[in-house]
Structure formats: structure tokens, C-alpha cells
Amino acid sequence: MTSRSPEVAPGEIARDRGGQGAADARLVPATYVVLQRDGAHGTEVLLQLRRGTPYMDGWWACGAAGHVEPGESFWQAGIREAAEEMGVGVTVQDLSHLATLHRTCALPDPVEQRVDVFVSARTWAGEPHVAEPERAQEMRWWPLDALPERVVPHERRALDALRAGRVGSLLTHGFDQTLTLIAAVGRGGVIGDGDSMPWHLPADLRFFKQTTMGGVLVMGRGTWDSIGRALPGRRTIVVTRQRDWTAPGAEVAHSLPEALLMAGDHEVFVAGGGQIYAQTIQHAHRLVLTEVDLAPEGSTRFPEVDPAVWRESSRLPGEGEVAAWVTWERR
């Protein structure tokens, strides 16, 4: 089985938002196999609960999926993956095209430019089971009208199309996603000391709430710890390498691309910390920065805002220790 979405090291992220050029232009193809049967409450589909992988652990996914290997067709990849992951035999005649999904995220790395072909089958040889127990905890039949809450987001798009009778759909995911970096920055660029916020600014807390309400927040584990709780009225996705970490109100991702896949086609507010800011500023669409008239000590700094790249589009006067709230747009 090939990983559905390998983690991307920071150095691999393309430097130019405008495109990667001919040498980097590529699409990563994958086939997803959806087994269907008639159940007591209508059509049922077989899903696997992912476990022990670097990608979307704890989420339900199609019964089998993987990258198309060199020299394979989408059909041949589906046949191979069905045998490897579910222990069943299918033929090209058993398979039908369900949907094709073109997806990306706000990080324009070539490895995140993907085409996923979903195929379905109602006949197969053998009894489906978890054939790779190191990668899946269980398999279960789910009514198409009552899928579990945590289905891998782009896979849910295809299953929703099946439920709606839109077989053969051409779908997209991630192309309307934008990144807004939001931060409070002191003199010298300090945003924190690595453990906590270096200030308490009620006016800025109100501004942050007003700006992000109803949106999606992506943050690192350290930022979550400094806030201490989920913020009402917003989705919060926490990026952490710790596999068993959970917290009430937090959705957990184990890489930045995984977090952005979960965020979907929305404006995504990147709320820290320093490493995540550094990995995303070159791909961001907007910066919303609070200029704080303080110079605390701290090792965590916001990346330099290059005026050749960014244009100041608004400046609102602050109050107290807040000098101004400034919005920058990419030129």
C-alpha cells in the first residue's frame, strides 16, 4: 500500500506561488476503491478506520486506495490495492467509474497537486477484511446515508456524489482555499517566548475574535497550549507530531498539508507558532498583524514582511499598547 498523502518537509515546499515551472509540474495520481452492497437501510459502503500511518489516523476512509505506480492504469491500481488492503479480487469488469477529484491546498508544492480516481464495485471474489493490520484498525459497512463524522474530507466528497446519484462527477477540493496569517508582533518581531504570550491585550483579543469568528484556525501545539482552550465559534485544527494527543474542541492533524486538507475550501487563519508562520508566509494571501508597542524578550519571532512582496492595504489605529492593526495583501 502506498501512503495516501506523504508528509511534506518544509524545504520541499515550492518557493513561487505563481507556479512551479515545467520541471516541477506534475500530478500525483491515485485510485480509491469503494465496495458497495444493498443493506437494510439502502446502499452500504465498506470503509476502513486508519491507524498506524503518517496520514489521517483515526479517520474513516475508502476500503482501499493508493498511488498509481509507473506503468499502471487507474483500473490496474484499483485491482492491486483491493487485493493488498481488503484481500479481495476484482476485475476491470467489476469496476465502474464513480468520480474523479482534482485537489490541492494553499501550499503549492507539486506533491500536493493530486488527481484521485474513485472506482466502485458490487461484485468481487473473497471476503473483505483488514489485510494490512498495521495500517487499519477495522473495516465496517456503513449506510451511505449515515456515514461516520470523521471521513477523510476529499473521500467524503466522492461518497456524497455517490449518495446524490452524481456518478461520474468531476470534483475539486482545495482550489478556493486561502491563507491568512494573523499575529500580534512586538518591536523586533517578537511574538512569544516559546511557552506563553508575552502580553495580555484585551483590545487585541477582541480584534482577534472579530476577525476570525466563524472561520477555521490552524495552529501548532504550543499556540494551543498558550491559549489553553478551544475558542467558541471557530474550528480549531492543531498540528502536532504527538500521535496520541487530544484536547476538547481541537481537531488534530499531524502535518501542515493534512491540516489544510481538513480545513477545506475556506479562508484559513494561521495563528502560530513561529515554525508554522515560517512555513506558510511565502504562500499566504493576507497578513493581519497587530503592531504591539512593547519590546519583550523572546525567542519566537514573526517572519520578516518584505515590502517587495507585501502591500499594506489598511491600518487601523490601536489603543493602549496596541499601536495599530495592519493588513497586508500580497502584491
Q: Which residue has the higher pLDDT, 251 or 16?
A: 251
125 vs 146: CA distance, rounded Å? 26
Q: What is the widest separation between alpha-carbon atoms in the chain?
A: 71
pLDDT digits (tens, 9 = 90+) for 146-199: 999 999 999 999 999 999 999 999 999 999 999 999 999 999 899 987 667 788
Q: Is residue 12 over pLDDT 70? A: no
Q: Could you tell me which CATH number the domain at 178-330 has?
A: 3.40.430.10
| Averaged pLDDT for residues 217-241 | 95
Q: Is residue 20 over pLDDT 80? A: no
Q: Is residue 308 over pLDDT 90? A: yes
Q: Is residue 11 over pLDDT 70? A: no
Q: Is residue 238 over pLDDT 60? A: yes
Q: If residue 257 lies in a helix (H) or strand (E), which one and from where to where?
A: helix 256-263
Domain boundaries, the chain: 10-173, 178-330
Q: Which CATH superfamily is domain 10-173 in?
A: Nucleoside Triphosphate Pyrophosphohydrolase (3.90.79.10)
Measured from the Cβ of residue 265, the count of other Cβ atoms closer than 10 Å reads 15
Query: In this predicted structure, which of 18-22, 184-188, 279-283 has the lowest mean pLDDT?
Result: 18-22
Render 109-178 in DSSP notation, one character per residue.
Answer: -GGG-EEEEEEEES--BS----S-TTTEEEEEEEETTS--S-B-HHHHHHHHHHHTT-TTEEEEESTT-E
pLDDT digits (tens, 9 = 90+) for 311-330: 999 999 999 999 999 999 99
pLDDT digits (tens, 9 = 90+) for 30-83: 999 999 999 998 999 999 999 988 889 999 999 999 999 999 999 999 999 999
Would 10-173 and 178-330 be classified into the same CATH topology? no
pTM summary value? 0.86
Cβ neighbours for 327, distance < 8 A, ≥ 6 positions apart: 286, 287, 288, 289, 312, 313, 314, 315
pLDDT digits (tens, 9 = 90+) for 77-101: 999 999 999 999 999 999 999 999 9
- The single-letter code of the amino acid at 58 is G
Radius of gyration of the chain (CA): 22
